[in-house]
Amino acid sequence: MKISKLYGLALAATMLVASIAQAETLTLSTPDADNSEITLSANKFAELVSKKTDGKLKIKVFPNGTLYGGDPSAGVKQLAGGSLDMLLNSTSLYATFNPKFTAIAIPYQFRDIDQLRVYLDSELGKELSGDLSKIGILGLDLWSRPLRQITNSKAPIKSPVDLKGMKLRVPNNPLWVEFFGAMGAAPTPMAFAEVYNALQLKVVDGQENPVNVPVSAKLYEVQKYLTISNHIADAWVLGMNPARFEGLDEGFKTALKEAAVETEAWKAQNDAADIDKSLETLKKNGMEINTLTDDERKAFVAVAVGLSAKFSALVKDQAFFDKTQAFLRTN
């Protein structure tokens, strides 16, 4: 009996050790604050992964780009090199490594966020995600992001003329420079970690981002005007180091893939409410908000149409650019 009990205890201890050995923790870095749309989405993703694996695969989320010193390009390189496990950052950033991602950002090509989601889930979206392997990254999924709007400290924007001479922070992406430069602005590429101080010190007059960004980054403290322009779409890349992924249990791999898809579905249900909440917060903090009328919008669209040849050249893949435009005409 004693031998049997001892054997049972030894077996239980062995099973416990095996269970502990199977546990894994991954890091996931996001570029924005802990209350931002993307960090909240990262936390939802982590929650779903934990639930699917009975808590054996944990994801620790690090906001504000802390794991890569606030330099997003460095973050991409660290992800490919293996010093980051997982990274969430924008397709506008990845366009600096693979210009095909610029195809998402052509101004005014998406009629709304729903069409963007259909595109990201299409074979074209899958092609973009697969192309991440060329820079040493596994693309787990592409997540939608609310359309971009303009904030500034000078005056409401109702016409491209209102942007003339305005120093506007933009991502480090030539499409943004071309588009806003054509309207007479002085587009200033800058890492987002530097934006608040640059606005506060009047190094730049404004910036453009989805409306939840001025909330999470408290830009309402240094900006007065918000224009709902819906001028550019981009998306989030959920990237992972390939070697880290391949070293995981098959069940963990499945959980990551499933949770990625389910998080995008969750975002689709929550983003609209988050936009409304963000607008209310900005109003309460003194920002004046105007929405471009259909007639006002036409002037901005005309600028974008006039730059079509330059935009297609920036994609550096005419066939993919053409496939994107054809897809948007029929979906």
11 and 121 assigned to the same domain: yes
CATH number at residue 68: 3.40.190.170
Here the tokens at position 299 are 């002037």
Find the Cα–Cα–Cα–Cα dihedral 300, 306, 308, 311, rounded to 10°.
-70
35 and 158 assigned to the same domain: no
**In angstroms, rounded to a whole number, what is the distance separating the alpha carbons of residues 243 and 81?**
10
241 and 219 assigned to the same domain: no
Residue-range definition of the domain harbouring residue 57:
2-146+234-273
37 and 164 assigned to the same domain: no
Tell me if 221 sits within 8 A of 184, measured CB to CB.
no
Residue 56 DSSP class: S
- pLDDT tens sequence across 285-321: 999 999 999 999 999 999 999 999 999 999 999 999 9
24, 54, 56, 248: which is closest to 140 by C-alpha? 248
- pLDDT tens sequence across 197-214: 999 999 999 999 999 999
Tell me if 201 sits within 8 A of 188, measured CB to CB.
no
Determine the pLDDT at residue 22: 81
199 and 214 assigned to the same domain: yes
Determine the pLDDT at residue 77: 98
Determine the pLDDT at residue 19: 46
- pLDDT tens sequence across 107-144: 999 999 999 999 999 999 999 999 999 999 999 999 99
85 and 142 assigned to the same domain: yes
- pLDDT tens sequence across 211-260: 999 999 999 999 999 999 999 999 999 999 999 999 999 999 999 999 99
170 and 256 assigned to the same domain: no
Determine the pLDDT at residue 4: 47
187 and 217 assigned to the same domain: yes
**In angstroms, rounded to a whole number, what is the distance separating the alpha carbons of residues 169 and 190?**
6
92 and 168 assigned to the same domain: no
Whole-model pTM over 0.85? yes
119 and 50 assigned to the same domain: yes
Determine the pLDDT at residue 21: 38
- pLDDT tens sequence across 6-61: 445 444 433 443 344 389 999 999 999 999 999 999 999 999 999 999 999 999 99
106 and 41 assigned to the same domain: yes
| Exposure b/e, 150-162, CB count within 10 A at least 16 = b | bbbbeeebbebeb
For all residues of the chain together, what is the average pLDDT?
94
Quick one: pLDDT band at residue 271, thresholds 50, 70, 90?
very high
191 and 315 assigned to the same domain: yes
Average pLDDT estimate for 139-154: 98
Q: How many domains does the chain have?
A: 2
Taken in order 170, 172, 175, 181, the sign of the CA dihedral is positive
- Please, how many CA atoms are within 13 Å of residue 63, restricted to the half-sphere of its CB? 14
How would you classify the pairing of strands 225-228 and 149-152?
Answer: antiparallel
